[in-house]
Amino acid sequence: MHAAIALWRTKGYADTTVADICKAAGVSKALFYFYFPRKEDALLEAGFLSVREAREKWRELVARPYDLPDVIVAVLATLERTMRRNPPQLIIEVTLEGHRAEQRALAEGRSDDHHASRFLLLELLERARADGKLPSGMDVLHVARGAQALLESGTRHWAAGEYGDRGFAEVVGRDITAFVTGHTRLADGEPRT
């Protein structure tokens, strides 16, 4: 994975072949294909590895009294620091391939909804619900799906430079917090406006 990421950062994702990755890593193609059926699967794995720090951050923050919106922004700030180490085109490729993988799974009748790894904020939202920060009846899987859509769209827009001087965590954190707050009000029985 480290060899692949280094090549993608310098040579670009589209111009890096599996043979290039294997040569840089000192492994055979057979070993690569043992772990990854396609180059795109390696890209997805790299994307999942980059969120590890973000998940560790929320676990650290909820170990003491916390405010959910602050935790969401801190998680996104951690993710933003990770994203800043990569070329924008690679960030866009990772988010698009994640979307394509989800669509393939749905077309094949598979659903990865039960895997917390698919939705960055699912475990955090489940913890917040257990801690009484969210209503007990809230469908956190549904909210995590919506938050993931905002996260992925925001990632692509940020990588394309559409936020100007505003940071990823600032813009996307506000969007996700508003989304979660709206669903919290609905779950609490507040009337729709």
What is the domain partition of the chain in residue ranges? 1-35, 51-187
Q: Residue 49: what pLDDT?
A: 64
> Which is higher by pLDDT, 24 or 101?
24
Determine the Cα–Cα distance for residues 113 and 116; give it in Å rounded to an integer: 7
Query: What is the arithmetic mean of pLDDT over 143-165?
Result: 94
> Which is higher by pLDDT, 134 or 90?
134
Determine the Cα–Cα distance for residues 68 and 98; give it in Å rounded to an integer: 26
User: Which amino acid is residue 2, in one-letter code?
Assistant: H
Q: Residue 191: what pLDDT?
A: 63
Q: Residue 192: what pLDDT?
A: 59
The CA–CA distances, whole Å, from 191 to 74, 143, 178, 181, 182 equal 30, 18, 16, 14, 11
Determine the Cα–Cα distance for residues 169 and 14; give it in Å rounded to an integer: 28
* Secondary structure letter of residue 115 according to DSSP: -
Q: 3-state class of 131 per DSSP?
A: coil
Under 8 Å between Cβ of 135 and 106? no
The residues, ordered by sequence, that sit 6+ positions from 36 with a Cβ below 8 Å of its Cβ are 42, 45
Under 8 Å between Cβ of 141 and 122? yes
Burial class (CB in 10 A: 0-12, 13-18, 19+), 190: exposed
| pLDDT value at 137 more than 70 | yes
| pLDDT value at 176 more than 80 | yes
The 10s digit of each residue's pLDDT in 34-73 is: 999 988 888 888 776 678 889 999 999 999 999 999 999 9
Under 8 Å between Cβ of 181 and 173? no
Which numeric CATH code is attached to 1-35?
A: 1.10.10
The 10s digit of each residue's pLDDT in 76-119 is: 999 999 889 888 888 888 888 877 877 887 788 876 544 556 78
The closest alpha carbon to 16, from 3, 32, 31, belongs to: 3
- The rounded percent of the chain whose pLDDT value lies above 90 is 59
pTM beyond 0.85, yes or no: no
- HEC states along 132-193? CCCCCCCCHHHHHHHHHHHHHHHHHHHHCCCCCCCCHHHHHHHHHHHHHHHHHHHHCCCCCC
Angle between helices 88-107 and 39-50 (to 10 degrees): 110
Query: What is the arithmetic mean of pLDDT over 161-186?
Result: 95
Determine the Cα–Cα distance for residues 118 and 115; give it in Å rounded to an integer: 6
Select the highest-mean-pLDDT range: 82-86, 146-150, 189-193.
Answer: 146-150
Q: Residue 114: what pLDDT?
A: 45
